[in-house]
Amino acid sequence: MEQNEAIFQKPLSKTDINHRLSLPTCAFNKHFPAIFHGNRVNIRVRYGGNEVNQEWKLPCYIRGGANPYDKPVLAGQWRHIAASKGFQEGDVVVFYKHQDHEGRLYRFYAFRSVFNDVATGELFLGLASRMIKSRSRIPMSNSGSVAMFEDSAEKGKAAYEEKIGAVMEDEIEPEVVWEQRVKDVEAERKRRVVTSPGFSFSAAGLLFPYHLGVAQFLIENGYIKETTPLAGSSAGAIVCAVIASGATMEEALKATKVLAEDCRSRGTAFRLGAVLRNVLEKFLPEDAHIRSNGRVRVAVTQLLWRPRGLLVDQFDSKEDLINAVFTSSFIPGYLAPRPATMFRNKLCVDGGLTLFMPPTSAAQTVRVCAFPASRLGLEGIGISPDCNPENVTSPRQLFKWALEPAEDEILDRLFELGLKDAAVWAMENPVEKVVQEDSPVIGNSISNSE
């Protein structure tokens, strides 16, 4: 049985839980059987994954009579299902439409309201901050230096290139350990000219326009050139791919508004991943991976016996690059209704959980954070809302916008805030004193504070 794209999601009200579930009219008209006022049609409903076999036939109808209520609803045993599953007001249900040998089937999942609450942002960022500041201290040999595997005869060139070629401690946060494969290290060594400093963009969720505004200023004023190394986690990884692609930040902002409009009209949680992938496939040029190779470090978190930060900057195709930034953005259970995603045959999640602002390959790295760095207890941040006293946006509001797409005027405002915060930083870091030509410096990544 094939699972299609989610047909709708909605937060549950008290009436939805205690009486009947109202269905969004748009989704109902498109995906449910045609029903007239006063008529009822039983539809097949299951809860959870394919391993769950319990099925209900729930009456679906549009109430008629003297005071017709135009909202279509699911009734019957629905309230008993809601009670048995412990649904609460604000929880989100997501419905999928399937087709099996018996005909049409609707499968739904329920998720706690934490995914639609500001608390999610605080929880995720707090977790990332905690991992940054107090990552489990596991003894490592040669920490702070590059450990290369020279013998490639064992399993051939392909296996050799997939080995870990660099194991490093971050110089600003020495508890954070990041790794690179041999092929990624070699891709960086092939770059003949590197402009320092590089720029690292933090995980940011849907605050993507803030990073675009920062990038706009840095490009226009000569801080970011075609030879400038870049690195990012989550939304930061996406903006790095956009910069390397040669697209303008205004074009990227327009694409962001397309994504936001889709999510506002059809829902965000558990379908954002599919929308994001579709936008990237349309927006990025066919040679985006070539432009990014050796220049853009994408951070992902591999789930082994402990979470492990991996920096990827060698991409085999445009699809491989998109898979990398998608994986880097995979907030568990948010981009899709599953706890993790597969990347190059490894189970992975959002890169921000281990490498919130990964280092670049330049001699110096300026770190850009879309959230107030002081709120996360982060040090060595170059550009953030803390830079600009005129940026009075509250952390709580930023967390909300990071998880649910804001209106277009707010997206424009975020873009302007990023641009202004970068301008304030630039006043104390003039381009003629900061930017210099360098040779590749693998693994020597420090933050350039004001």
Which of 105-109, 164-168, 350-354 is modeled with the greatest confidence? 350-354
Average per-residue pLDDT for the chain:
79
Query: Which run of H or E residues covers position 93?
Result: strand 92-100
| Six-digit token string for 368 | 């850009």
Higher pLDDT, 392 or 4: 392
CB 288 within 8 A of CB 241: yes
Region label for 344, one of left (φ > 0), alpha (ψ between -120 and 50) or beta (otherwise)? left
> Among this protein's residues, is 412 annotated catalytic?
no
Topology agreement, domain 6-111 and domain 165-437 = no
What does the pLDDT average to over 217-231? 95
Q: Is the pLDDT reported for residue 66 higher than 80? A: no
CATH superfamily of 6-111: DNA-binding pseudobarrel domain (2.40.330.10)
Q: What is the pLDDT of residues 81-125, one digit of tens each?
A: 999 888 887 777 878 888 777 778 888 877 654 444 444 444 455
Rank 185-194, 394-403, 408-417 by mean pLDDT and report only the highest: 408-417
Look at residue 156 and tell me whether its pLDDT is greater than 80: no
Q: How far is CA 434 from CA 28, 88, 428, in A?
A: 57, 53, 10
Percentage with pLDDT > 70 across the chain = 75
Average confidence (pLDDT) over 122-146: 41
| pLDDT given for residue 28 in this prediction | 86
| Residue 13 pLDDT > 50 | yes
| pLDDT reading at 393 higher than 90 | no
Q: Name which residue leads in pLDDT, 196 or 27.
A: 196
Domain ranges for the chain: 6-111, 165-437
> What mean pLDDT do residues 198-207 have?
93
Which member of 16, 350, 386, 421 is catalytic? 350
Q: Would you place residue 254 in the very low, low, confident or very high pLDDT band (cuts 50, 70, 90)?
A: very high
pLDDT(185) > 80? no
- Say if residue 325's pLDDT is above 60: yes
64-68, 143-147, 311-315: the lowest-pLDDT one: 143-147
Tell me the fold of 165-437.
Cytosolic phospholipase A2 catalytic domain (3.40.1090)
Q: Indicate which residue of 196, 202, 233, 234 is catalytic.
A: 234
Residues with Cβ < 8 Å from 107, sequence gap 6 or more?
3, 45, 46, 47, 48, 95, 96, 98
**CA–CA gap between residue 25 and residue 81 (Å, rounded):** 22
Give the pLDDT band (50/70/90) at residue 143.
very low
- Among 133-137, 275-279, 401-405, 418-422, name the most confident range: 418-422
Banded model confidence at residue 141, pLDDT cuts 50, 70, 90? very low
The alpha carbon of 152 is separated from its chain's Cα centroid by a whole number of angstroms, namely 35
145 counts as catalytic? no
Q: Check pLDDT > 70 for residue 167.
A: no
The predicted structure's pLDDT at residue 62 = 85
pLDDT greater than 80 at residue 246? yes
Least confident stretch, 47-56, 229-238, 371-380, 412-421? 47-56
State residue 32's pLDDT score. Answer: 87
Segment 89-92 long-range contacts (CB within 8 Å, at least 24 positions apart): 89/12, 89/13, 89/14, 89/17, 89/113, 90/11, 90/12, 90/116, 90/117, 91/11, 91/12, 92/9, 92/10, 92/11, 92/12, 92/116, 92/269
Q: CA 101, CA 171: separation in Å to the nearest integer?
A: 58
> Is residue 366 over pLDDT 80?
yes
Measured CA to CA, the distance from residue 79 to residue 409 in angstroms comes to 39
Residue with the bigger pLDDT between 89 and 348: it is 348
Segment 424-443 mean pLDDT: 80
Residue type, 424: V
Contact 131, 354 (CB under 8 A): yes
